[in-house]
Amino acid sequence: MSESKDVAAIVDDLTTTDVGGRDTIGPIADAARERQGGAPSMQAAERLDEAVDPGDTVLVLTGFLIPPSMVQETDGPLGAVSVARAVDRALDANPVVACEPAAVDVCEAAATAGELGVLDREAAAGSRQTVSVEAFPADRAEAREYVADLLSAVDPAAVVAVEKAAPNEAGVYHNMAGYDVTEQTAKVDELYRRLPADVPTVAVGDAGNEVGMGLVQETVEDEIQYGAECQCGCEAGIAADIETNLLVPATVSNWGGHAVAACLGHVTGTPVLHGPDVERRMLVEASMAGGIDGIAGGTTAGCDGMAPEAHESMLRLIREVFGSSVHTRGGELGR
């Protein structure tokens, strides 16, 4: 087994371990591996490395608002920032994060805590260790206008979605409990409908209702609660209909973003993954900006029902895999 395949397989096993016992990631991860034939996070990193040149723009989508208050959760922004850091530092390219208007403050807080300066798009394009954070409209007409302007202005070299709500085949966006959240959700289907076919697309998700899950839509419908039959009356289930070139499943979508970043650092020889202390800081600052634990609720610095310590531990484990002398020798124990 090659070094890249060795570490990638270990990291994907780590980030798809069902730590919280939600019973969603197993079938999704198995189906994605079967469809894609390998470790998704490394495949994503290799695709980005091939597609993105210095100075290019990479669009990073995130945002999932939690009802009934429709506030941004802590899962998604941290993984998006992780990818943005890797795009900036490993590829010398310009990351643009786009999210729901209600999620901008949380994403900006996570970015700043993640050691990226937040500037407007033009200023960030001329600077390193920076990112721009933009509001992707929830109103469909405004979303169409935003997409047209975005594609004209930046011509993205790649699009990466991390925990980004996506519509089902009926065009309805749902939360994991099967309820309609369309009204206040960014209409990202307008982007994917207009994106040139040669622009690589990567997505990270954990429940089946996110961008990219169209790749395993049948599995989501068959195996995930409300996958085929939701609770809103649209009769089309929560299974997302948007398919991307590559899907990176993860127990927590942030972890999938971290895995892609770590693999991109590995591929380019530029370590970019942040440490546990930065992970905690991002969770705290995202919560202080209003981000809530999407499962447990509250601005507790938790994420997907797990305390900050669990997320710090995942960072330690991923970094250990890539930093271990065993794996840097190709995975042959005892030499």
Lowest mean pLDDT among 16-25, 117-126, 206-215, 325-334: 325-334
pLDDT digit string (tens) for 44-68? 999 999 999 999 999 999 999 999 9
Tell me if the pTM is above 0.75.
yes
Question: How many domains would you assign to the chain?
Answer: 1
333 in any annotated domain: no
Q: Classify residue 22 by its DSSP letter.
A: -
Residue 109: CATH number of its domain: 3.90.1640.20
Task: Enumerate helices (H) and strands (E) in the chain, giving the number of each.
Answer: 13, 9
Cβ-based burial of 45 (10 A; exposed 0-12, middle 13-18, buried ≥19): buried
278 in any annotated domain: yes
301 in any annotated domain: yes
62 in any annotated domain: yes
pLDDT digit string (tens) for 162-198? 999 999 999 999 999 999 999 999 999 999 999 999 9
158 in any annotated domain: yes
Supply the pLDDT for residue 5. 55
DSSP string for 260-289: HHHHHHHHHT------HHHHHHHHHHHHHT
pLDDT digit string (tens) for 254-272? 999 999 999 999 999 999 9
The tokens describing 65, both together, are 């608002």
334 in any annotated domain: no
* Domain region containing 284: 3-328
- Report the distance separating Cα 4 and Cα 190, nearest Å: 35
Supply the pLDDT for residue 274. 97
Cβ-based burial of 193 (10 A; exposed 0-12, middle 13-18, buried ≥19): exposed
109 in any annotated domain: yes
309 in any annotated domain: yes
